[in-house]
């Protein structure tokens, strides 16, 4: 992530999205960018979120809009304020954001996917296979070795039989 | 991150509250303003009524000859309206000594104008006398950042450096109403970004009303809290930028769709 070095710095593991679209309200995009970080775990409970000044610098947008986005997070209880210090992630924020994003998941991701598949002539079976393939590809190495282990165990039990 | 320095507009909340009190008069108020120039058939401004709150960052957008500079000249009290009234913080700025020091108008100098014979450091020294909130350390730091030679006449500087001098005069004045009329014209893309960054960081510490005309809409639109669009001397639209974006259109596209004349095309 690129932040102007003279204006401030983020923790190395913080990767707030630095690109905004001009055709959606900016304050919403600022709010969502921080929520995405909380969802991804790069901002954990009781972590400090970037200051307004850092967000202004990062996005090159006016402070009024940044303030509006951060105030919305505060009003929804996603962050809490420590006077003179800044804003921090609430304990229950990750769970609450996950629930809200799960509700939007069908409309935002699944519906467009099935519509697109239909348009391209991808059959339901092919779509299922593609989704399974993608899930497997994204599984962390430990999980796949877990599958191998359980297969080995199964093998072992079978041999025992 | 350093905490913001104390502000003349009250102790800034680190969370960034910069809204003026509800009762504050608007920074800018035009009531049914018309401006005609001699020997011109069409008025430059035609029945303009608009109110801009204190500490707004307002983008003034319009095609060539839409009336942007005329409107700005009225606010800077360079001219008086033919009809209607102009109010800054509830007062008529024309021939008001207070308005003179409280309004900074940054515009393109004429080639042979007075400023072109001065060196940047002389212009800064004059500004220090005329501007009660002038911050010389800020001006000097900006001059270094923009690589402005301080001891050369401005007429001998590059277009970009001249633009930087104008922008520095506007920023370091910290005037409660700062008007930038295509101020950065001639600056390259990197310097324009530096300018916007410096403006925003300084605004955080010293909130003030800023009116900013530009033709680089897509580049500058994130700077604005509100947009005022003029067309042929009339107000075409005036709204909060995020309210406009909520309609699913970038400011630039909205502007083009609203101001395209019959027979014109834009790809």
Looking at the structure, tell me whether residues A114 and A129 fall in a common domain. no
pLDDT for the residue A140: 76
pLDDT for the residue B249: 86
User: The sheet that has B177-181: what strands, in order across it?
Assistant: B103-106, B177-181, B209-213, B57-62, B226-231, B234-240
B26–chain A nearest CA distance, Å: 17
**Is A48 part of the contact surface with chain B (CB cutoff 8 Å)?**
no
Looking at the structure, tell me whether residues A2 and A61 fall in a common domain. yes
Contacts of A26 (CB under 8 A, 6+ apart): A20, A59, A61, A65, A69, B222, B241, B242, B245
Residues of A in contact with B200 (CB under 8 A): 56-57, 60-63
Looking at the structure, tell me whether residues A13 and A34 fall in a common domain. yes
Average pLDDT on B170-175 reads 96
pLDDT for the residue A157: 46
Select from B14, B197, B254 the residue whose CB has the most chain A CBs within 10 Å, as the one to mutate to test that interface.
B14
Looking at the structure, tell me whether residues A153 and A90 fall in a common domain. no
Beta strands in chain B (DSSP E): 28-35, 45-52, 57-62, 83-88, 103-106, 177-181, 209-213, 226-231, 234-240
The residue of chain B nearest to residue A63, with distances taken between CA atoms, is: B204
Is the model more confident about B111 or about B168? B168
Residue B111 lies in a domain: yes
CB–CB contact A53 B246 (8 Å): no
CB–CB contact A53 B224 (8 Å): no
Structure tokens at A52: 């307004």
Residue B197 lies in a domain: yes
Looking at the structure, tell me whether residues A129 and A159 fall in a common domain. yes
Given A22, A61, A62, which is nearest B218 (Cβ)? A22
Beta strands in B98-166 (DSSP E): 103-106
Domain holding A110: CATH number? 1.10.10.10
Looking at the structure, tell me whether residues A59 and A137 fall in a common domain. no
User: What is residue A124's three-state secondary structure?
Assistant: helix
Is the model more confident about B115 or about B258? B258
CB–CB contact A84 B14 (8 Å): yes
Residues of A in contact with B207 (CB under 8 A): 63
Query: In angstroms, how far apart are the furthest CA atoms of chain B?
Result: 57
Contacts of B184 (CB under 8 A, 6+ apart): B163, B167, B191, B192, B195
CA dist A70 and A72 (Å) reads 5
A37–chain B nearest CA distance, Å: 19
- pLDDT digit string (tens) for B2-36? 333 334 443 344 444 456 666 789 999 999 999 99
**Is A29 part of the contact surface with chain B (CB cutoff 8 Å)?**
no
Given A8, A24, A74, which is nearest B1 (Cβ)? A8
Domain that holds residue B52: 28-247
CB–CB contact B246 A24 (8 Å): yes
The residue of chain A nearest to residue B198, with distances taken between CA atoms, is: A57
Given A7, A27, A59, which is nearest B201 (Cβ)? A7
The residue of chain B nearest to residue A5, with distances taken between CA atoms, is: B1
Residue B18 lies in a domain: no
- pLDDT digit string (tens) for B102-149? 999 998 877 677 888 899 999 999 999 999 999 999 999 999 999 999
The residue of chain A nearest to residue B55, with distances taken between CA atoms, is: A64
Looking at the structure, tell me whether residues A36 and A87 fall in a common domain. yes
pLDDT for the residue A2: 39
**Is A3 part of the contact surface with chain B (CB cutoff 8 Å)?**
no
**Is A17 part of the contact surface with chain B (CB cutoff 8 Å)?**
no
- pLDDT digit string (tens) for B199-252? 999 999 999 999 999 999 988 989 999 999 999 999 999 999 999 999 888 888
Q: Pick the closest to residue B130 from B94, B170, B93, B90 (CA basis).
A: B170
- Least confident among A148-152, B59-63, B261-265: A148-152
Structure tokens at B180: 């930038």
A60–chain B nearest CA distance, Å: 6
Contacts of B119 (CB under 8 A, 6+ apart): B150, B151, B152, B153, B154
Looking at the structure, tell me whether residues A67 and A111 fall in a common domain. yes
Side-chain half-sphere of B77: how many Cα atoms within 13 Å? 17
Is the model more confident about A17 or about A85? A85
Looking at the structure, tell me whether residues A95 and A109 fall in a common domain. yes
Contacts of B191 (CB under 8 A, 6+ apart): B146, B160, B163, B164, B184
**How confident is residue A18, by pLDDT bands cut at 50, 70 and 90?**
low
Domain that holds residue A108: 1-122
pLDDT for the residue B234: 96
Looking at the structure, tell me whether residues A113 and A139 fall in a common domain. no
Residue A160: pLDDT over 60 = no
B208–chain A nearest CA distance, Å: 12
Domain holding B188: CATH number? 3.40.50.300
- pLDDT digit string (tens) for B54-99? 999 999 999 999 999 999 999 999 999 999 999 999 999 998 888 8
Residue A64: pLDDT over 50 = yes
Residue B237 lies in a domain: yes
Residue B9 lies in a domain: no
Residues of B in contact with A85 (CB under 8 A): 14
* Number of domains comprising chain A: 2
CA dist A57 and A53 (Å) reads 6
Residue A159: pLDDT over 70 = no
Structure tokens at A156: 């072992």
Interface contacts (A, B; CB < 8 Å)? 97
CB A38 within 8 A of CB A46: no
Contacts of B197 (CB under 8 A, 6+ apart): A4, A7, A57, A60
| Helix or strand (DSSP H, E) at B128 | helix B120-130
Query: How far from B58 is each of A149, B27, B125, B157, B240, CA to CA, in Å?
Result: 63, 11, 29, 30, 9
Structure tokens at B138: 């800020």
In this prediction, the answer to ipTM > 0.85 reads no
Burial class of residue B119 (count of CB atoms within 10 Å of its CB; 0-12, 13-18, 19+): middle
**How confident is residue A10, by pLDDT bands cut at 50, 70 and 90?**
very low
Looking at the structure, tell me whether residues A80 and A159 fall in a common domain. no
CA dist B139 and B169 (Å) reads 7
CB B222 within 8 A of CB A26: yes
pLDDT for the residue B61: 95
CB–CB contact B250 A52 (8 Å): no
Residue B8 lies in a domain: no
* Number of domains comprising chain B: 1
Looking at the structure, tell me whether residues A130 and A111 fall in a common domain. no
């Amino acid at each position: 992530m690129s932040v102007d070095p003279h204006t401030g710095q983020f923790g190395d593991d913080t990767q707030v999205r630095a690109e905004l679209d001009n055709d959606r309200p900016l304050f919403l995009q600022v709010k969502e960018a921080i929520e995405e970080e909380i969802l991804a775990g790069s901002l954990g409970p009781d972590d400090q979120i970037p200051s307004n000044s850092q967000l202004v610098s990062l996005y090159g947008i006016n402070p009024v809009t940044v303030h509006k986005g951060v105030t919305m997070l505060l009003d929804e209880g996603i962050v809490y304020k420590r006077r003179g210090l800044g804003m921090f992630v609430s304990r229950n924020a990750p769970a609450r954001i996950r629930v809200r994003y799960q509700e939007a998941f069908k409309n935002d991701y699944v519906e467009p996917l099935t519509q697109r598949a239909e348009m391209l002539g991808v059959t339901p079976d092919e779509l299922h296979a593609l989704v399974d393939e993608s899930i497997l590809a994204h599984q962390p190495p430990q999980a796949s070795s877990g599958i191998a282990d359980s297969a080995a165990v199964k093998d072992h039990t079978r041999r025992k039989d | 991150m350093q905490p913001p320095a104390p502000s003349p507009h009250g102790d800034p909340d680190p969370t960034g509250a910069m809204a003026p009190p509800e009762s504050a008069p608007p920074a800018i108020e035009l009531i049914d303003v018309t401006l005609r120039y001699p020997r011109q058939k069409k008025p430059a401004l035609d029945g303009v009524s608009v109110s801009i709150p204190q500490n707004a960052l307002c983008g003034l957008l319009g095609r060539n000859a839409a009336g942007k500079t005329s409107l700005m000249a009225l606010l800077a009290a360079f001219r008086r309206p033919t009809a209607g009234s102009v109010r800054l913080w509830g007062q008529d700025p024309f021939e008001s000594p207070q308005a003179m020091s409280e309004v900074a108008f940054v515009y393109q100098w004429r080639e042979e104008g007075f400023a072109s014979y001065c060196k940047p450091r002389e212009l800064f020294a004059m500004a220090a006398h005329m501007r009660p909130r002038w911050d010389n350390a800020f001006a000097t730091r900006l001059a270094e950042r923009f690589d402005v030679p301080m001891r050369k006449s401005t007429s001998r500087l590059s277009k970009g450096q001249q633009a930087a001098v104008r922008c520095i005069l506007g920023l370091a004045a910290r005037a409660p109403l700062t008007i930038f009329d295509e101020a950065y014209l001639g600056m390259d893309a990197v310097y324009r970004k530096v300018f916007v960054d410096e403006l925003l960081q300084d605004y955080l510490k010293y909130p003030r009303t800023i009116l900013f005309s530009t033709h680089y809409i897509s580049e500058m639109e994130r700077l604005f809290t509100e947009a005022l669009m003029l067309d042929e001397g009339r107000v075409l639209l005036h709204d909060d930028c995020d309210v406009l974006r909520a309609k699913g259109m970038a400011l630039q596209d909205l502007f083009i769709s609203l101001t395209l004349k019959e027979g014109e095309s834009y790809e």
